[in-house]
Structure 1
Amino acid sequence: MSLTITKVVARDARFPLGPGAGSDAVHLDAVYSYAVCELYTDGEEKGSGLAFTVGAGNELVCQAIEFLAQELVGKEIDELMADFGEFQRKLSNHTQFRWIGPHKGVVQLALGAITNACFDLWAKKKAVPLWKLLLDLSTEETIQLLDFSYVEDVLSKEEARVILNSHVIDRHKRENVLTDNYQGYDTSIGWFNYSDQKVRDNIKKSMAAGFTSMKLKVGSPDHERDLRRAYMVRECAGDAATVMLDCNQQWQLQESIEFMMKAKDMNPYWIEEPTHPDDILGHQTLARAISPVKVACGEHVPNRVIFKNYLQSNAMHFNQVDAVRVGGISEFILISLMSRKFNIPVVPHVGDMGQIHQHLVLFNHIAMGHEALFLEHIPHLQEHFVHPCQIVDGRYITPQEIGASSDLKCLQADNIRVAI
């Protein structure tokens, strides 16, 4: 049975957080927000796609959704997804909107929300969770979802086919993750504005809840504060715990190198976003200087081209691509394929609070052979989702509801912008 898109609605959804929650060295007063693309159809199904912001400017992304989404009305979802890579290429290269990108900023966020809504609707049409929809696709169907423009010098369609086909024969060995569930790590223990005592208390709660990996926000002008707190977390969590540090782009390159040389002895698993996200060669320099400490980045990398350059330059050890930051699920998959070619693990940043990414990491592991390391967990918006992700003993329970787990509960009418 066909399912045709008849109307698109853009929603501006903002959720203030509790004291100190969500704070980092750069975003001190974050308001977790989504520019939501909703696709209405001639049936009962509705697709919901997210792009993440931290408040101000969220309305601009909604306006861009309104403009770009006009191309969707009248399209049948199966026909659209059969050649989605080509559709997305054309949508991302609008002759005028491209000028205020290309493939970055407000326009790219809008593209991500639209793309994610298409995948959610497609999964609902097929009445399966997103992870199953993706795993049930043939190699050729997966390839047709992707826009390879500007990256074929590093990953051709044929190379992508080889990666996917080479992991078909033994994928059954990795499907146990569906019942064993995917390990999480706790970001919420160490927000930047939390007191030392609150961080200590959070570590104890987190470990009692089954988490063995956690992250501390650093990036203070006072390096001694950050160093003290980093060693405090190590002492409180114990030597067996995995502890990551996250600077959120605050440091200059030399400052980052100097800090990490002092922090090495607390054995950080990685330093995340240690300097400006556009400084690829700076990350390369840092990665060499602070070895064996590893570098994680990608939260603010907006597109596959910049990820390509990071991978070519050996400038990252962990790829933190976020499907609500880049051009959505299809670009996430393409970036994951490039990362697999370079043997760089994908550990996504979760601007969606893990709702969509809990599906994507299962696909990455089973279909591509990516190592099942762990997935970031941030609990602050769980109450706002229709089907919030479930965490038991520090692990993401494999979702069984149809779709991409991206439906938000009813929003106030004055937060709704009607596009078509």
Structure 2
Amino acid sequence: MYIQSVEVLDKRFKMGEGAGSDATHTNPQYSYAVCVLKTNTSIEGIGLAFTLGAGNDLVCKAIHYLSVKLKGVEIEALMADFGTAYRQLADEPSLRWLGPHKGVVHLALAAIVNACYDLWAKSRRVPLWKLLLDLSPEELVNTLDLSYLEDELTRAQAIDLLKGELAGRSRRSEVLTTGYRGYDTSVGWFNFSDELIVEKTKQALDKGFTAFKLKVGSDDPLRDLRRAALIRQTAGDAATIMLDANQKWNVPRALDICQRLGSINPYWIEEPTHPDDVFGHRAIARAIAPFKVATGEHIPNKVIFKNFLQAKAMDFCQVDAVRVGGVSEFLTISLLSKKLGIPVVPHVGDMGQIHQHLVLFNHIGMGHENLFLEYIPHLRPYFVHPATIVDGFYQVPQEIGSSSDLKI
């Protein structure tokens, strides 16, 4: 199966009133820069990168530039040593200067890489999660670029880690029967009224959800405290509640407000300060313990993740496959997180479409803890095979590929 041409699509979606809003992105337009790999068959590989509105155009243009070398390549030959191909794409000399490995070019790389994995799974007629599980440890590591991680994760260590988890696979495969637990982010958008937060939380409880996320970061911290107390009162003491500041606070303000938000017993406080501030996150994590810090939504690459993990600046790793360099870098960061003992709970810029596959592999194949996966329903109507939740659990996708096909 040969890649004959590449099509790039700029897809932007209207959001419902207040949906998707947070303390930093108050009026978002959810958007995908879409890479379509067309082949000598009817099968196409679809890859997504997530953006917000006007910036989507820049990412689409970068996909055009980066994807040129894929034309004429056979998919099995490409994926047999994809780690090498990945590094060549990431280090394309005329574009690397714009990063390196971050920003517009890296988002474009994510869309291209995700399209390659989607096409590979479709060519083998299996869902992405099964493709990954069917690979030997050596074959999987061949798809990864471990450069700049050698001080923490060598190729031999990555293979040994995966081999060490083989014995427990059958037990962990129970998740394929139960499904993967979800948590509902759509109950607590920043621009929702207090009344709507309560209403949405009750609706989510009726749908079987037991974990929820509330957006905080208001100019008036009393608003955050009031709304956090409302969602706790509505959901009950047994519910799992996460709070997300979306980078709004500086470190001193975060230290103050996070301590006060501890009154509702949050499971984690997410992105409490600037996403590049490793030592700021570490200071916050140390100060608010036993409450936890989650971050990673805006960490752009594996090297910065390495620094956060080495510094013990995150308690939960929220790597996102449509934010970093696609499935390959997601798996690389997941392996690094596993080695360093930090659980992976992805952010889902793709609305959980690809990540429902990746968390299954992370749990079964890597031995990551079976926790939960963020669920955001707003773009369901636009997917051919939208992620399905039943009684609060993601159902295991059965369609071939990565569940990224859009109704386009």
Shared fold (TM-score, shorter chain, > 0.5): yes
Q: Of the two structures, which has the highest relative contact order with CA contacts closer than 8 Å and spacing of 6 or more?
A: 1
Aligned twin of 2:275: 277
Aligned twin of 1:175: 173
The residue identity in structure 1 corresponding to 2:330 is F
For residues 42 and 177 of structure 2, what CA distance do their matches in structure 1 show? 31
Deviations 1:106-159 (A, max 9, x none): 000000000000000000000000000000000110010000111111111111
- Aligned runs of 1:114-263 on 2, under 5 Å? 114-263=112-261
Aligned twin of 1:23: 21
The residue identity in structure 1 corresponding to 2:96 is R
For residues 262 and 67 of structure 1, what CA distance do their matches in structure 2 show? 48
Aligned twin of 2:369: 371
For residues 149 and 196 of structure 1, what CA distance do their matches in structure 2 show? 47
Structure 2 residue 360 is matched with structure 1 residue 362:
yes
Instruction: Please give the secondary structure, in 2, of the residue aligned with 1:100.
Output: coil
Deviations 1:355-397 (A, max 9, x none): 0000000000001100010000000000000000110000000
1:109 paired residue among 104, 107, 110: 107
- Aligned runs of 1:395-414 on 2, under 5 Å? 395-410=393-408
Aligned twin of 2:315: 317
Aligned twin of 1:63: 61
Deviations 1:78-119 (A, max 9, x none): 000000000010110011101100000000000000000000
Instruction: Please give the secondary structure, in 2, of the residue aligned with 1:8.
Output: strand
For residues 282 and 56 of structure 1, what CA distance do their matches in structure 2 show? 30
The residue identity in structure 1 corresponding to 2:47 is G
Aligned twin of 2:49: 51
Instruction: Please give the secondary structure, in 2, of the residue aligned with 1:57.
Output: helix
Paired-residue identity, %: 61
Structure 1 length-normalised TM: 0.97
The residue identity in structure 2 corresponding to 1:391 is I
Structure 2 residue 301 is matched with structure 1 residue 303:
yes
The residue identity in structure 2 corresponding to 1:294 is K
C-alpha displacement at 1:245, in angstroms?
Answer: 0.2
C-alpha displacement at 1:232, in angstroms?
Answer: 1.1
Aligned twin of 2:94: 96
For residues 254 and 395 of structure 1, what CA distance do their matches in structure 2 show? 38
Instruction: Please give the secondary structure, in 2, of the residue aligned with 1:169.
Output: helix
1:289 paired residue among 284, 287, 290: 287
Deviations 1:394-415 (A, max 9, x none): 00000000000000001xxxxx
For residues 290 and 384 of structure 2, what CA distance do their matches in structure 1 show? 42
For residues 142 and 121 of structure 1, what CA distance do their matches in structure 2 show? 16
Aligned twin of 2:4: 6
Aligned twin of 1:413: none
The residue identity in structure 2 corresponding to 1:277 is P
Instruction: Please give the secondary structure, in 2, of the residue aligned with 1:367.
Output: helix
The residue identity in structure 1 corresponding to 2:304 is I
Deviations 1:44-70 (A, max 9, x none): 110000000011210100000000000
Aligned twin of 1:394: 392
Q: Give every structure 1 segment of 4 or more consecutive aligned residues whose post-TM-superposition deviation is greater than 2 Å.
A: none
The residue identity in structure 2 corresponding to 1:318 is F
For residues 354 and 124 of structure 2, what CA distance do their matches in structure 1 show? 17
C-alpha displacement at 1:263, in angstroms?
Answer: 1.3
C-alpha displacement at 1:162, in angstroms?
Answer: 1.2
For residues 400 and 33 of structure 1, what CA distance do their matches in structure 2 show? 26
For residues 169 and 238 of structure 1, what CA distance do their matches in structure 2 show? 38
C-alpha displacement at 1:298, in angstroms?
Answer: 0.1
Structure 2 residue 342 is matched with structure 1 residue 327:
no
Structure 2 length-normalised TM: 1.00
The residue identity in structure 2 corresponding to 1:86 is T
C-alpha displacement at 1:221, in angstroms?
Answer: 0.6
For residues 253 and 162 of structure 1, what CA distance do their matches in structure 2 show? 39
Instruction: Please give the secondary structure, in 2, of the residue aligned with 1:49.
Output: strand
C-alpha displacement at 1:264, in angstroms?
Answer: 1.0
1:337 paired residue among 327, 335, 340: 335
Number of residues of Structure 1 aligned to a counterpart in Structure 2:
408
For residues 357 and 394 of structure 2, what CA distance do their matches in structure 1 show? 10
The residue identity in structure 2 corresponding to 1:320 is Q
Note the residue ranges of structure 2 that are not aligned, 5 or more in a row.
none
For residues 159 and 80 of structure 2, what CA distance do their matches in structure 1 show? 17
Instruction: Please give the secondary structure, in 2, of the residue aligned with 1:311.
Output: helix
Instruction: Please give the secondary structure, in 2, of the residue aligned with 1:376.
Output: strand
Note the residue ranges of structure 1 that are not aligned, 5 or more in a row.
411-420
The residue identity in structure 1 corresponding to 2:294 is A
1:78 paired residue among 76, 79, 94: 76
